């Protein structure tokens, strides 16, 4: 019998979010003839013991570990997950001589630095399914893997990397969704993830998504997406969150998916949520989404100030936020606007204008993030470099020293907001219940989904759906 590939989920946050990437990787590995087993540390009370037990006395060809989040990306809390992940890699190493490979959406924001920090043998940046199967094949044959797409490895003491795999996702095998305990994730996490495409062609200066997923959109066919809904619905899973960067990029694909979902009666059978951009969002798309089972949308609005929207590289204007809101209301969709305050050029005036606009438009909820996480390879990281030595940059918060790869949480917070930026924003929000504004003092449960007990309890009581919408319903007694 050939040795199996062991896939390890290291994300233990609550509510639990299923590691979709591992599930998709398993489909490709199996299609290429590999045996696959899962160790889901999310549901293990003693991860160290579970690792030892899983690896003891078993032939293992390769161990793949996923890192979904490097940190919680919140300035107010600034929780760093990389040290814990490095500990898990170490624990695996102690139990096996099999090659250790790491990957994931968190891993892909800083692949070389995380390979160094963890001591894993290989990393795969970006899409993982095909490169992981290729690597497993190459290693099984004693081959030389250094030409594989997305591979990150050490050569003569230096970390080297290849470009990510950016092939057609529509040609990947059918998504079986059989690796994980999806029913348990639904019962405890309140939703299941589904991807309709990868990649994003928008030019938001702070976003790391295009680095890992590419700038060219690689779509799955509407029928493939609908099939995946069917697979999960058949197991009693009824609430979904799309895992696209932005569902309506491009709008034609979004419309095509909606048509297929409507044709299969998803409007009556499924309830789903998604991220979307206000750029080019139309009433036609809103009503198509509603007919297809969409119930709520989280828009990355970022700002209500035209100058700031331009600074952040957004492709819309403040006025569009009114039209988007109107389209959602007409279609009967619940929606929220996510703000990203404190970026380059933010002033007390631009922040005040943004909060005022939000109060005027009155989306169902407004999420406020203060401080923009800086990632290597983004335009924002170039802005930071141009501003001189990081340690003396008045616009940086978090780990500004000895962190030139931006791996530890570090945030841009425009000094023009003043010493007490959080206090100022809190004053502007003025206790308005429609706003989620996490602060260090009040705790971040108001909006952070990382170990959020309020959400865990609500889901236990039967709430389902996007977390912002569950928090909204809790507040409104809905």
Q: Which is nearer to ligand B12, 164 or 318 (CB)?
A: 164
Question: From residue 72, how far is each of 37, 90, 215, 369, 415 by CA, in Å?
Answer: 28, 22, 24, 12, 22
Q: Which of 71, 260, 405, 469 binds ligand B12 (CB under 6 A)?
A: 71
Stretch that binds ligand B12, among 68-76, 283-291, 395-403, 426-434 (CB under 6 A): 68-76
Buried b (16+ CB within 10 A) or exposed e, 135-172: bbbbbeeeeebeebbbbbbeeeeeeeebebbbeebeeb
Output the smallest distance, CB 319 to ligand B12, in A: 26
Interaction between residue 22 and ligand B12 (CB under 6 A): yes
Interaction between residue 24 and ligand B12 (CB under 6 A): yes
Cα–Cα distance measured from residue 167 to residue 129, given in angstroms and rounded to the nearest whole number: 11
Strand partners, 299: 276, 337
Q: Which of 112, 114, 115, 132 binds ligand B12 (CB under 6 A)?
A: 132
Stretch that binds ligand B12, among 112-120, 225-233, 237-245, 382-390 (CB under 6 A): 237-245
Output the smallest distance, CB 288 to ligand B12, in A: 21
Q: Which of 78, 106, 164, 367 binds ligand B12 (CB under 6 A)?
A: 106
Buried b (16+ CB within 10 A) or exposed e, 326-351: ebbbebebbbbbbbbbbbbebeeebb
Q: Which is nearer to ligand B12, 66 or 350 (CB)?
A: 66
Which of 220, 335, 330 lies closest to 282 in space, CA to CA? 330
Output the smallest distance, CB 99 to ligand B12, in A: 11
Farthest CA pair distance, the chain:
67
Q: Which of 65, 92, 151, 400 binds ligand B12 (CB under 6 A)?
A: 65
Cα–Cα distance measured from residue 227 to residue 233, given in angstroms and rounded to the nearest whole number: 10
Cα–Cα distance measured from residue 243 to residue 264, given in angstroms and rounded to the nearest whole number: 21
Stretch that binds ligand B12, among 14-22, 299-307, 338-346, 418-426 (CB under 6 A): 14-22
Q: Which of 109, 114, 266, 376 binds ligand B12 (CB under 6 A)?
A: 109
Which of 140, 194, 138 lies closest to 169 in space, CA to CA? 194
Q: Which is nearer to ligand B12, 206 or 316 (CB)?
A: 206
CB 32 within 8 A of CB 69: no
CB 354 within 8 A of CB 304: yes
Q: Which of 38, 91, 92, 124 binds ligand B12 (CB under 6 A)?
A: 124
Output the smallest distance, CB 25 to ligand B12, in A: 6
Q: Which is nearer to ligand B12, 153 or 467 (CB)?
A: 467
CB 411 within 8 A of CB 397: yes
Q: Which is nearer to ligand B12, 22 or 255 (CB)?
A: 22
Q: Which of 47, 78, 111, 128 binds ligand B12 (CB under 6 A)?
A: 128
H runs (alpha helix) in 47-127: 47-55, 82-95, 111-118
Q: Which of 70, 96, 182, 350 binds ligand B12 (CB under 6 A)?
A: 70
Residues touching ligand B12: how many (CB under 6 A)? 45
In this structure, which long-range contacts are made by residues 176-180, counting pairs with CB atoms below 8 Å and at least 24 apart in sequence?
176/27, 176/231, 177/23, 177/228, 177/231, 177/232, 178/23, 178/26, 179/7, 179/22, 179/23, 179/26, 179/27, 179/36, 179/38, 180/9, 180/18, 180/19, 180/22, 180/23, 180/38, 180/40
Interaction between residue 103 and ligand B12 (CB under 6 A): yes
Q: Which of 241, 314, 365, 397 binds ligand B12 (CB under 6 A)?
A: 241
Cα–Cα distance measured from residue 227 to residue 35, given in angstroms and rounded to the nearest whole number: 24
Q: Which of 34, 153, 272, 449 binds ligand B12 (CB under 6 A)?
A: 449
Q: Which of residues 192-231 bind ligand B12 (CB under 6 A)?
A: 192-193, 195, 208-209, 213
Report the Cα 465 to chain-centroid distance in Å: 16
Stretch that binds ligand B12, among 60-68, 174-182, 289-297, 428-436 (CB under 6 A): 60-68
Binding string, residues 393-432; x marks residues near ligand B12 by CB under 6 A: ----------------------------------------
Interface contacts to ligand B12, rule CB under 6 A: 11, 13, 17, 20-22, 24-25, 64-66, 68-74, 101-106, 108-109, 124, 127-129, 132, 191-193, 195, 208-209, 213, 241, 243, 245, 448-450, 467
């Amino acid at each position: 019998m050939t040795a199996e590939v062991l896939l390890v989920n290291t994300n233990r946050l609550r509510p639990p979010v299923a590691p979709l990437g591992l599930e998709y990787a398993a489909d490709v590995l199996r299609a290429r003839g590999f045996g696959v087993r899962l160790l889901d540390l999310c549901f293990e009370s003693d991860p160290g013991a579970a690792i030892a037990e899983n690896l003891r006395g078993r032939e293992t060809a390769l161990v793949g570990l996923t890192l979904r989040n490097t940190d919680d990306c919140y300035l107010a809390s600034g929780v760093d997950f990389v040290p814990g992940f490095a500990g898990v890699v170490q624990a695996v190493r102690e139990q096996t001589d099999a090659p250790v490979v790491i990957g994931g959406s968190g891993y892909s924001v800083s692949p070389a630095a995380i390979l160094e920090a963890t001591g894993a043998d290989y990393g795969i940046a970006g899409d993982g399914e095909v490169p992981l199967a290729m690597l497993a094949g190459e290693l099984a044959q004693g081959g030389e893997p250094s030409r594989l797409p997305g591979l990150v490895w050490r050569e003569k003491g230096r970390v080297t990397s290849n470009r990510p795999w950016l092939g057609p996702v529509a040609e990947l095998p059918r998504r079986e969704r059989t690796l994980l305990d999806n029913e348990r994730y639904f019962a405890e996490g309140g939703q299941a993830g589904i991807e309709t495409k990868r990649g994003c062609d928008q030019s938001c200066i702070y976003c790391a998504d295009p680095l890992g997923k590419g700038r060219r959109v690689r779509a799955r066919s509407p029928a493939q997406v609908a099939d995946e809904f069917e697979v999960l619905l058949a197991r009693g899973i009824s609430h979904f969150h799309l895992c696209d960067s932005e569902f309506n990029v491009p709008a034609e694909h979004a419309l095509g998916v909606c048509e297929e979902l409507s044709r299969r009666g998803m409007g009556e059978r499924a309830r789903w949520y998604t991220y979307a951009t206000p750029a080019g969002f139309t009433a036609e798309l809103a009503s198509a989404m509603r007919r297809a089972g969409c119930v709520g949308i989280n828009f990355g609005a970022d700002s209500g100030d035209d100058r700031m929207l331009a600074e952040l590289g957004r492709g819309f204007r403040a006025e569009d936020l009114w039209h988007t809101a109107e389209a959602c209301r007409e279609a009967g969709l619940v929606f929220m606007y996510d703000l990203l305050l404190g970026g380059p050029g933010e002033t007390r005036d631009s922040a005040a204008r943004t909060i005022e606009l939000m109060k005027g438009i009155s989306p169902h909820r407004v999420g406020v993030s203060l401080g923009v996480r800086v990632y290597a390879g983004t335009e924002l990281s170039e802005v930071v470099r141009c501003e001189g030595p990081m340690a003396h940059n008045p616009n940086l918060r978090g780990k500004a020293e000895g962190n030139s790869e931006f791996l530890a949480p570090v945030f841009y917070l425009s000094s023009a907001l003043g010493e007490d930026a959080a206090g100022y924003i809190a004053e502007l929000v003025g206790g308005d219940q429609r706003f989620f504004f996490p602060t260090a003092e009040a705790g971040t449960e108001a909006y952070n989904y990382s170990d959020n007990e309020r959400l865990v309890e609500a889901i236990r009581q039967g709430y389902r759906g996007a977390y912002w919408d569950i928090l909204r319903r809790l507040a409104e007694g809905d």
